[in-house]
Structures are given as C-alpha cells and as structure tokens.
Amino acid sequence: MYAVKQPTTASLRSNVAVDRRVTGSGRYTKVRKAIVLGSGSRVNGHGSVRAVISGGDKAVEASTPMQSKDVTGSLVPSSSGGIQVKAVVTIRKKMKEKITEKIEDQWEFFVNGIGQGIMIQLISDQVDPVTNSGKSVQSAVRGWLPRPLPSDYAHIVEYAADFTVPSDFGSPGAILITNLQGKEFYLLEIVIHGFDGGPVFFPANTWIHSRKDNPESRIIFKNQAYLPSQTPAGLKDLRREDLLSIRGNGKGRRKEHDRIYDYDVYNELGNPDKDQELARPVIGGEERPYPRRCRTGRPPTKSDPLSESRIEKPHPVYVPRDETFEEIKQNTFSAGRLKALLHNLLPSLAVTLSSSDIPFKAFSDIDDLYNDGVLIKEEEQKEGKKLFLGSMVKEVLTVGERWLKYEIPAVIKGDRFAWLRDNEFARQTLAGVNPVNIEILKEFPIISKLDPAVYGPPESAITKELIEQELNGISVEKAIEDKRLFILDYHDIFMPFIEKMNSLPGRKAYASRTVFFFTPTGIMRPIAIELSLPPTSSSPHSKHVYTHGHHATTHWIWKLAKAHVCSNDAGIHQLVNHWLRTHACMEPYIIATHRQLSSMHPIYKLLHPHMRYTLEINALARQSLINGGGIIEASFSPGKYAMEVSSAAYKNMWRFDMEALPADLIRRGMAVEDPSTPSGMRLVIEDYPYAADGLLIWSAIKEWVESYVEHYYSEPNSVTSDVELQDWWSEIKNKGHYDKRNEPWWPKLKTKEDLSSILTTMIWVASGQHAAINFGQYPFGGYVPNRPTLMRKLIPQEDDPDYENFISNPQRTFLSSLATKLQATKVMAVQDTLSTHSPDEEYLGQVNPLHSHWISDQEILKSFNRFSDRLKEIEKIIEKKNRDSHLKNRSGAGIPPYELLLPSSGPGVTGRGIPNSISI
C-alpha cells in the first residue's frame, strides 16, 4: 500500500455490446444480446481509476431503459424478470511499447470488441440448489478500441460487459475470468454496477494467463474479508479451489505463467556443470540448516544430482507470476544494473590491460571516483570496444573521455575524514547501516562458547587491567554495573571459518571482538580490539589485542585493526542481518501466506502489501549475488564460504521470537522493560537512533495490527478455530523453517494476542528492519575505507617480512590491505543499486492509488488512516530529534542525520524511507 497521488479526471467513451450468457444451472445457456451503451471513466476522489459509473449507478440507470428504481432507491427487476448490471473491467497495458506490441494491442482491442477475448462469470454468494454451488451468470467482455486515459493513467484501459441477473441472484461474491486471447494480460480490477448498495469492487492486481497456457479460469473475489467459517455458502468451493491451484502438486518444472508457490532448499547456488570450482553445497538440511526458498522444479545438474541446474542472466528464474517486477520497477532495476556495469567497466578494463587487479595506491585514487570521474584514453576506448560488445556500452565509450562519477556517500559528504575518528567508528554501531550487533557487556572475563579442544582456551585476551587503563579510574565491575561497557563480538561466528577463508587467494581475516566504553559525556568510544586466528602447533597464542595508540606506529596499527573489525561487521551485516534475517526468512512467510490463506482472508489482506517484489528480488539474488562466483563471494571476506557462514548463523542464533525489535533489544541488553514509557521499553543508551526510531515504528505497527486483529477475531476461540490460519502458522514452522521445526521457542497461536505479536514481527521485518539495514548501504559503504567488505592482508607483526614496508609507507600498507579497485567498485555499484528506491515504491502507511479499494470494511479503513497519521507524526518526531544538539549520534559537525527510519522518501539513493516490503 502506497502514497496517494493527486487524482486526475478523465473520461472515456466507447461503444460496447455484450453477449450475456446466463448460467443458473449450466455455464453456457445463451441469452439475447444487450443494447449498445456508452461508458466513461474517471479517477475518483480517493485517487483510484474508476469508470464514470463508479461514482454511483446513475450512468447505468440512464443508459438502461429496462431498469427502474423503487421509492427506496433500490434497483427493481426489469419486465423480463432480471436485473441489468454492468461489469467494468480495468486492464493495465505496458507504458512503453514497441511497434509490434502496439499492433498486437489493436488486435486485442478488436478481439475484445467482438466478444471473443475475455469471458467473465459472475458468482453469487448464494447457492444454486440445482448445482450446489454459487449461482452464476456469464458474459463476454466487449468494447470497440477503447481510448486509454491521459496523463498518469495512459496505460490503463477499460472494457465493459453487461449481465442480466435473476432477481433472486443475491450478492456477487466472486468472478471467474477466462482469457481467450493468445497472451496474458494484467487485470487491475473489475467493478460491478447495478446491485443494491452501489458498486461492488473486485480488486485483482494480477496477471490473467491465456487459456492456451492453462485452461482453468481465474477466480477473483470481491473486496470483502471473510474468515473461513464466515465464507458465504456460494463461495466455499471457490475458496478451496483457488488455494489448491496455488499450491500445485509439488512436481514438474514451473513455467513462466504459473502462480504456484512451493518450497525447496538452496540447491542452485553452485554451477558444477560449468566449473567444479563453482560447486557449492546444498544450504538447507540437517548439516547446513536454512529457511526454504520458492521451488522452481528445474532438473538436477549432471555433475551433482543434489544440485539443481542454474538459469543464468539474462534468462529469468521462476517466481510465481504475480511476484515479478512491474514495469517501472523493472526499468529502475535494469538501469541500476547498467549503472553497475558502467561503473565496473573501468576497473575491468584496467585488469584486462594490466593482466592483474590493482589496489588503491593513494587516498586520492578513491576520491577521484567521486570528484572527477575517470578518464579513459582513446587507445583504451578502442580496447574497451573489443572487450565489451554491447551497443549501449560502445555508445558510452565513444561519448568522450570523462567517465561516470560515483555520488559522494553521505558518510563523508560533510566531513571527508570522519571515518578516521574513533567516535565515528563507534557511532556507526548505533546509527550506521548495521546497528543491530552492539550489545552490553554483561560479565567479565569474556568467554567463547566454542570447543576449547579445537579453538584453544575460551578466555578472551582482553584483560581487566587493559580495560581499566582506558576507564579513567573506573573499575571493570563498576563499569559493568553502570551499563557503560559494550561489545561487538564476531569471534564465535567467524572462528570456525577463518582457516578456510584465509586459504582463499587475496583474503585474510580474523575473528574479532571490540569493547566500547560509553563515556559520562554520552560518547561511545572503542577501547580494545581483539583479533584472533585459530591456534596452530607453531602459533598456539593466536589472539592479539590492540588499543588506540598515540605513537605513529600504534596509530596506524589501530587503523588496520578497526578496518578488520569493519570487514567482519560488513560480512555479518550482509550475510546474516540483511540477507538471512530479512530476505531469506521472509520468503517462507510469503509462500505460506499464498498457499494457506485465501485472498479473501483478512490476514492475507493485511500481509499482502508487505510481500511485494520479495520473491523476485530473492530470485535475482540467488542468480547473481549469493551464488557461487557471485558478487557477495567476490567482494566479501568469507568468499565461497559466505552462505555457509549465513547457515551457521541461522543454526546458532536465529529465533523467530527474537526477531521482534523489543525482544532483540532486551536480548542484547540494550533496553529494559519499562511500562511507564509509551513503547514499554527504556533504552540503556537513550541516544541510540536505530532503537529509538525503531521503537516508534514498531509501536505504530503493533497498534495498527492489534486493532485489525481485534476487529476480525473478537469472538472467543476465533483464532484456534480458524483452520486456514492454523495451517498457515503450522506450515511456516514445519515447512518454511523445516530445519527449526522442533525448536521450543516458536510462539503458540492460540489467542488474538499471539496472532498480533506474530504479525507485528513479520511486518516489522519486512518494513522497518529491512529499511534500517538496507538503504544505508551506499551512504555508509560507498566509501571503501569506512566499511571495507574484505581485507587482503593480516596486520604486520615485527617479525614479518612486510613490517619494514609498513614502517616506511603505512598508508600504502593500509590501502593495499583493502579490496582492490575492481572488488571495491563492484561492491560500490551493487550497494548503490540496493540503496535505490524505485519510483513505484510503496511506503509504510500509504495506499497505492490503484489499490484504494483493497478492503470494503470502513472500520478497518479508519484504523489504517490512524496508522498513516501516526507515521506522519513519527516523521516529524525523528526530524526534530535530528536537530537536537544534545543527541550526539544524530547531529554535529559533518555528521549525517539518522534518517533510515523516516517513513517516506522520494526515488533514488535517499538514505531514508520505509517501503512496505523487501523490494530491493
């Protein structure tokens, strides 16, 4: 649900003739043709595209002389014993069409005009005693070359169909629509006019497959929400049929037009048939547990029967048809990919010409990416044309010497040297792109949970004496008691993989721990960093502790230690907090929602806006981001072990009940329960922007969800008696998260409070949580030294051969330890794409103008409006906080304001905005 645009007004007139077929006891009983009517269309006051007659039934009344109204204003039967009603069918065409597509459109208009393109069957919510199913009437859609609406809605066309409905038909509850054309079309909605009470809306927002691809008609329900037990008798069979068609039979390869949702493991990340170096283990199962992804049903590889064969770009990976990007989103994403290609062209060219990837040699090399762009000489352009044959790339290369520039990332826009400072390093643990790993230090000494027989003594090398040197006379015990010591602990998650990671060419990593002190002046300060390697027979003491030094040598070593911590942080951010905890874990919720909740179920309607585009973006990620040899492996420290690290985090750390923001903050010791506060929580560090803003968003979502659930589940036992809902929750646990199905921490689903809690968590993960850790990727990560995604060298020790080189030129040692130009610019380009809002983004608390009739319940719409108003208030609260000079993590010289949880945004890389769903 998205922002309401200002309405435009337009009218459309076309002659339509309708061939009605009444199907009270059979589907194809022909009746007399209706008269030809004129029709029009407009955008109503709510911003939705509607036919002129959507404003009421006056147009129908005036155009249909057989009808009359009684003294109460209700339609009465015509003299023929039936009521004349009209269906207005709204279809979305492509915005930008090729000549061939325009010709095809004209043919479609002609076919529809003569009633040979679309058949619709209107189903009553009352049962026909003859058929034991809903009463029905059928008609063909007719309309001669309807003219599209102007302005923003030029790509939307309308057709009409007339029905003669028996006077005892009852209320329409569903429509069966059959596409007789040779290709699919996108149906926005159908509106029925002529019944008592005004227009009846059937929101669709779905692709309607051609009958040649699938002979079954599509079922579209009206915008009335029903619990399963409340389903009108005439719709019960259709409700069940629709769910069965969505589930499929779990067999065969999925085709592009399918809308079948099912589960599978991550068994298509590798490509052993192409290269054994690209073979990857199956992620999902007892050895490497993981959430399930959407099944595609492709055949196995020849080399490995457990691995599914891959589909490489530009060919699409299957997702259910309605999950694919719409045209605006597709264009934005494609433009981002082109931008990424162009940004990567120069370093790729340099690699080819020099036969080896090159490191940054000076900080000015990095600055040049933003300041001047990159110049390519004429001979390099000629070489580039040979290497990159795409015509678009050729055009760019011949435009001139100046190359595309990267935008200056927000983190250095106001202060180019902010990244060097300890307080900025610490500030980003609370207000950066990964503010979800910092936790309070609860006890000392710091102890590892790993097996000491394998990984050596569990005690950290960070000693009490070393910490107290940095505490200005405060003891460790007192600092812990006063909640002033915090830790960023990546030791246990990385240590089992360090040896394998460091065996990869050009990769060197440690398992890190960083201890911070929260000063009395309200500043977080790093005081000690521990970098560990697995113990070996030759090096049993493999833990090194570093502190900030005032000598030139220790100063540079401290910079390198912080860079290694940032590399750990970047890996966990991308593989665990971003990919696993939002993208991957949301996918099973979406699959289960489609499989087990009817589209007329109130919880389906609540969740639907929060599922948009997620399966498609996840499929694209499996194709080119997290796959073997993909961008994540190429650009982040874990390399080919990236998804195994993610799986280990899922196994050891992920719990559904801890994905709720309040539970996560309490688990990390960053908040305590406090019933006296509006959110019921009190932050240990008040100036914790992610948590402070997040709790505002969380509370707004919680209030909205609770009012919604209360409305539909007010009766005792209504949650436990909802068979669809119980099957939905069971499937999420037992199929979607199969490897964790037996965990005792799964919430029960017995009460409306249980349901509200579960739904609030899901909506938070899809909206606020994802926004907070995604849209800051380029603003914070676009400057390589601030967040290096990998390190290529260990910190030089005095007995190392490279130590003298470090002493003589520490800057070169630092830069050569970071990612190379190719690696860095590749990840920068991807971060830029992932941080970009599409122009069709749908933001939290806002309604898409074409979806304004998503539900008919006025109480729910009022409740939603309160939610929307609350989010506007929150935006003002956050903006006020960002101007408060006392909140040092949000304001100060050169510090970018914390805006990642501001609900609204425009398109592009804005560093703000909360989309409804994980859409990028």
| Four-point Cα dihedral 547, 549, 555, 558, nearest 10 | 0
Strand (E) or helix (H) holding 486: strand 485-489
Active site residue 770: yes
Decide: 268 and 295 in contact? Cβ < 8 Å.
no
Q: Locate 263 and state its tokens.
A: 């589960």
Paired with 75 in beta bridges are: 69
375 forms beta bridges with: 402
Q: Is 895 a catalytic residue?
A: no
In angstroms, what CA-CA distances link 538 with 323, 507, 534?
A: 55, 21, 11
Secondary structure class of 601 (helix, strand, coil): coil
Q: Which residue has the tokens 């539900």?
A: 855
Using CA atoms, how far apart are residues 425 and 564, in angstroms rounded to an integer?
Answer: 12
Give CA–CA dist 707/711, Å, rounded. 6
- What single-letter amino acid sits at 598? S
Answer for the pair 790, 507: CB distance below 8 angstroms, yes or no.
yes
Q: Out of 578, 594, 608, 610, which one is annotated catalytic?
A: 578
pLDDT in tens, 738-767: 999 999 999 999 999 999 999 999 999 999
How far apart are the C-alpha atoms of 328 and 326, rounded to whole Å?
A: 6
CATH number of 416-574+790-821, picked from 1.10.3720.10, 3.40.109.10, 3.10.450.60, 3.40.50.970: 3.10.450.60
pLDDT at 776: 97
Quick check: 843 and 904 in contact, CB under 8 A?
yes
What lies within 8 Å, CB to CB, of 373 at 6+ separation is 402, 403, 404, 405
Catalytic member of 112, 267, 271, 774: 774
Q: Which residues pair with 201 in a beta bridge?
A: 191
Give the Cα separation of 262 and 246 in Å (integer): 9
Q: Check residue 820 and report its DSSP letter.
A: -
- Position 71 scores a pLDDT of 28
Closest by CA to 757, choosing from 729, 730, 731, is 729
- The closest of 284, 289, 291 to 306, measured between CA atoms, is 284
Tell me, yes or no, if the two domains 82-247 and 416-574+790-821 fold the same way: no
- Give how far Cα 693 sits from Cα of 385, 428, 903, Å: 49, 15, 10
193, 343, 601, 770: which one is catalytic? 770
Instruction: Catalogue the E-assigned strands of 533-656.
Output: 543-546
Partners of 264 in the beta sheet?
293
Q: Enumerate residue ranges in the chain where pLDDT < 70.
A: 1-81, 95-98, 101-103, 106-107, 109, 113-115, 143-154, 329-330, 332-356, 372-405, 540-541
CB atoms within 10 A of CB 397: 22
Amino acid present at 550: H
Place of tokens 């909740």: 597
The answer to whether the Cα torsion of 413, 419, 422, 426 is positive or negative is: positive
Contacts of 576 (CB under 8 A, 6+ apart): 493, 645, 646, 649, 653
**What is the DSSP annotation of 829-840?**
HHHHHHTPBPTT
**Cα gap 255→257, rounded to integer Å:** 6
For residue 914, give every residue at least 6 positions away whose Cβ sits within 8 Å of its Cβ, in sequence order, or none: 697, 767, 768, 771, 843, 844, 901, 902, 903
CA 685, chain centre distance (Å): 29
Buried b (16+ CB within 10 A) or exposed e, 71-105: eeeebebbeeebbbbbbbbbbbbeeeeeeeeeeeb
Q: What CATH topology corresponds to 82-247? A: Lipoxygenase-1 (2.60.60)
Tokens standing for residue 369:
């990416």
Q: 260 an active-site residue?
A: no
Q: Is the pTM of this model over 0.85?
A: yes
Instruction: Write the DSSP string, 520-533.
Output: TTS-EEEEEEEEE-
Domain ranges within the chain, ordered by starting residue = 82-247, 416-574+790-821
583 catalytic per annotation: yes
Q: Which of 193, 583, 594, 610 is catalytic?
A: 583
